[in-house]
Amino acid sequence: MARPAVQLYSLRAVDEPLPELITSAGDAGFEGVEYANRIGDADTDAVVDALDGAGMESVAAHVGIEELEDDLEGTVEFYDSLDCDRLVVPWLDPEHFESEDAIDASADRLTSLADRVADHGVELGYHNHDHEFEEVNGRPAFERFAESSGDSLALEVDLGWASAAGVDPTGFLERWGDRIPLVHVSDADESRSPTEVGDGVLDVDACARAVDEAGVEWAIYEHDEPEDAMASLTHGGDVLQKF
């Protein structure tokens, strides 16, 4: 089974210090965290102490591609201070996946960056939204992206966003499992608006089986727009018991 983690972006609206949020995540049953925008303002020593106190790990960090390209060594060094050796580019605009040429260029760009990051002992991944699963010449753009990118680039498959695009993510997990160490367990309604996992289009049970069969290391809970972030955190901890 995959280990449970939480994307801290889900808790960005909670007015508490990050170390306290990490402690709350541990209390909810999570074993790891994935960092997002708030980490840049945090006391890294306090974050590490909170992780140690909760028996948790730094799983990965979402980092913009420009930040990595502009200051790769400084970015890697910062996350190394958090014992975080996996970075994930969370977004490229839809134009980067709208044609086969654009997909191939994106794949080359990210593979080159992954190779540079690997020289520092760090793994780079890419996280999808829904637009990467729109069809280009009769098949999802992310399929061509996976084929065109090198094995040095990990794939962080967001199950909810793939499902929102009308794609069954279990097939992608079966085909590309050896490059998928992380998945996002999220959900969306028919209008592609984020919702609590289990309330939208995601087939939770089928995805849980596929994640297990693919040998995914970490299942990371995320809700982009929770009405009550702390209640959503508790719900996420419960949901990930299936994974």
**Whole-number pLDDT of residue 96:** 99
Residues 72, 44: contact at Cβ < 8 Å? no
Nearest Cα to 235, choosing from 190, 195, 192, 205? 195
The domains found in the chain, sorted by start residue, are 3-242 (3.20.20.150)
Instruction: Identify the sign of the CA torsion 49, 90, 159, 104.
Output: negative
Residues 7, 221: contact at Cβ < 8 Å? yes
**Whole-number pLDDT of residue 200:** 98
Q: 156: number of CA atoms within 13 Å, CB side?
A: 28
Q: 74: number of CA atoms within 13 Å, CB side?
A: 7
**Whole-number pLDDT of residue 164:** 98
CA distance linking residue 183 with residue 218, whole number of Å: 7
Residues 196, 227: contact at Cβ < 8 Å? no
Print the SS3 string covering the chain.
Answer: CCEEEEEHHHHCCCCCCHHHHHHHHHHCCCCEEEECHHHHHCCHHHHHHHHHHHCCEEEEEECCHHHHHHCHHHHHHHHHCCCCCEEEECCCCHHHHCCHHHHHHHHHHHHHHHHHHHCCCCEEEEECCCHHHCEECCEEHHHHHHHHCCCCEEEEEEHHHHHHCCCCHHHHHHHHHHHCCEEEECCECCCCCECCCCCCCCCHHHHHHHHHHHCCCEEEECCCCCCCHHHHHHHHHHHHHHC
**Whole-number pLDDT of residue 194:** 98
Which residues on adjacent β-strands are paired with residue 194?
188
**Whole-number pLDDT of residue 196:** 98
What separation in angstroms does the CA of 2 have from each of 36, 98, 211, 226, 241? 21, 32, 7, 24, 9
**Whole-number pLDDT of residue 75:** 97
Name every residue whose Cβ is closer than 8 Å to that of residue 166 and which is 6 or more positions away in sequence.
133
Tens-digit pLDDT string for the chain (243 aa) = 999 999 999 999 999 999 999 999 999 999 999 999 778 888 999 999 999 999 999 999 999 999 999 999 999 999 999 999 999 999 999 999 999 999 999 999 999 999 999 999 999 999 999 999 999 999 999 999 999 999 999 999 999 999 999 999 999 999 999 999 999 999 999 999 999 999 999 999 999 999 999 999 999 999 999 999 999 999 999 999 999
CA distance linking residue 210 with residue 49, whole number of Å: 34
